[in-house]
Structure formats: C-alpha cells, structure tokens
Amino acid sequence: MTAASEVDDSDSPFEGGCDTELGRGFDVEAIKAAITVHDILGLDPLIKSIECPLHHGSRRSFSIFDGGRAWTCHADCAETGDVVTLWQRMHRVNAWEAIEALAAQAEVERGLTTPKPRRARSPRPGVAKGDARIARADALWYARWLAPRRDPGIDERGQRYLASRGLAGLCEALATWRYYHLTFKGDGSPSTPIYTLERVSSYDSSAMINVAERLVAPSPTGPKVLVMKDHPTKFSFGRPDLLLAHSNLKRIVLVEGVMDYLTALMLWPPGGSVLVLGAHAVGQVVPIVAGLLDDGEIAPRFRRLPLTLIPHADPAGVKAHASALALCGVHAVNATTFDLAGCGDLNEWIRR
C-alpha cells in the first residue's frame, strides 16, 4: 500500500476514465458495471448531487450521472471521473490499487469479463471487512482528512478540557511527533491511529488500519470511543515497528485506552528510550503482548526489553493485565505492573 504523501500517478493510464486493456488482467468495464458511485459513497441510487466528498465543500457541487457510473465536482475540484478515479482520490492510492480494491468489491477476477453474483454489502459500502489493503488506505485517508479540520482548531473549551486532563502541552508537542497522526476536535476530543503488526512497505502510514476517536462528551448510552466501522481494530496505538528501527530503546510501556496512551506519550515522548504502545480496549492487552511474542522479527528484540504494564484499576483491567503478566512469565519477559497508588488510571495518576 502506498502512503498518501507518496502516491505517484505518473504511470497511471487514467485521465478521468479507464482503459480496459490496461487493467493489469482485470476487465475494468466489468468492474465499472458492477460498482457505482452510489455504492462507494453509501448513497441511495436516486441521489443526483451531494456535498463533494473530495474537497468537503459546504454546497452540493458533486453531481452523479450516467446511472451512477460517472461524477463531476463543479466547485474546487473542477474534475470529472468514474468509480476508479473516485476511489483513487478518496483513498489516496494509484490507479492499479484502485482497480484491485474495486475488483475485490465487485468480485471480478483477473481474466473474467463478467462479475460474480454480488453478496450483501457491509453497512459501509466501499470497505470490505477484513481487507487490510482497503482498511489501510481508508484509515490513512481519514486521518489525513481529519487533520486540517481539527489542528489547530481547538477552541477555548477544548483547551480547558485538555488542561483538566493534565495534557495542556500535548498539542504543542505534536509538532515534533511527525509520524503520529494525532488530531483533535475543537472540544478537545482526540483521535489516534491503530496500527497493525503486519509487515508493510511504509510502516509510518501504510500500517494504519483504523482511527480511534475518544469523545469528550459521550452520550449516556453511547460508547466513549468511536472507530471506523468494518475495519480491523487488532493491534496497537503506537508503532511496534520502532522496536526494530530504534536501537536506543530501553523499555516498553503498554497502557489501556486513548487518554492513558496520550498521557504516556507526555511522560515518555516519542524518540526517547521508552516505546509507548496502547490498547484500544482492555480485550486487546493480551493479544498485543501475544502478537509481539509471536512476530518472527520483533519477538527477539521485545523479549530483551523490560515491559511495564499500566492497567486500569477495575476488575477487567486487573484481570487482563494478570493474564498478560502470566504470558510474559512463560516466555521469560521481564514484565512489571506500574503502581498507580490507588488511582483509577494513568491519567488520574498524573493529575494527583
């Protein structure tokens, strides 16, 4: 998967359309017959115009025509295209990757001229559950789309909230953490990527498989953390590949939850001798430890470094971290638990 900042379309045969013969073995016309713009955007087939999903304007400048096979943005984009070019622009990938992703959606195989019968789609059309390539492209696109809409747009309310959580200097620190796609809403709600342990060509961005948003003011009946629907959430906040890239590491810290992860970054900033990883939920603590132990490249380095676990002081957190400690014991990993001195979590600990 190519990172958005590295996409090179110079070899692309597409200029607002597709040449069937240049689809690297795929029948592009069959793909376009099976997938519509409405499918990609999750729209009712009767809709003809919407706010542009590419430049996110405030008026309905994005027109859909030719039975959902083509589109035009009449505003900032000033561009016309088909489903392949739309996928390229939305997911920041090149033409070949767009064709492969859409072929998977349409279930068109190389050498076939007609699509297979289509199965029921996920609630979010355009994203195949379990498809890591699509998930990485979509998560990276979403993180990059969020950034200009949030930073530095934290309002006074958001500044007060972050200060109340002991994170007043976090936004200023982000400027030195270039590979962390951390963003904030005006009210201070943070979003941070979830990275996969899978080997990819450019770990900095291509390894992103989801984005987790911690809501400052969740509804009484709703979740505190939102993630991208139908995307995998299995692995960690923070980049486990740094175990291989940085020889100066002397310790790994594993925390639970978005706010504790951001708190840990303030205590042990990136680039130092401590690698901070975070679990999206308590159920991911043990899988993260297991994944580090099982990875052929990372495991030797992981086992040589001390691991500090920082659980939430609730029954689920205590249980999960006890299981993680037991797993480390089996593999002779020097693991300890951070003493929160009666506090509920790390963020509460720093505010005492």
Q: Nearest CA to 244 among 293, 291, 301, 294?
A: 301
Looking at CATH, the fold of the domain delimited by 133-350 is given as Dna Topoisomerase Vi A Subunit; Chain: A, domain 2 (3.40.1360)
Start-end ranges of CATH 3.90.580.10 in the chain? 4-126
Residue range 91-108: average pLDDT?
Answer: 74
pTM for the predicted model, two decimal places = 0.62
Say which residues have a Cβ less than 8 Å from residue 254's Cβ, sequence separation at least 6.
236, 277, 278, 279, 285, 288, 289, 307, 308, 309, 310, 324
Q: What is 176-197 written as a DSSP string?
A: G-TT---EE-TT--EEEEEE--
Residue 6 or residue 270, greater confidence: 270
4-126 CATH: 3.90.580.10
Whole-number Å distance between alpha carbons of 214 and 224: 6
Highest mean pLDDT among 188-202, 224-238, 252-266: 252-266
Give the pLDDT confidence of 143-170 residue by residue, as tens digits.
Answer: 665 655 544 557 788 888 888 998 887 7
Residue range 183-191: average pLDDT?
Answer: 81
Give the pLDDT confidence of 268-311 residue by residue, as tens digits.
Answer: 988 889 999 999 888 899 999 999 998 888 899 999 999 999 98
Q: What is 241-307 written as a DSSP string?
A: THHHH-TT--EEEEEESHHHHHHHHHHS-TTSSEEEEEESSGGGHHHHHHHHHH-TTTHHHHHHS-E
Residue 13 has pLDDT above 90, yes or no: no
Start-end ranges of CATH 3.40.1360.10 in the chain? 133-350
> Do 258 and 212 touch, CB atoms closer than 8 A?
yes
Residue 316 or residue 10, greater confidence: 316
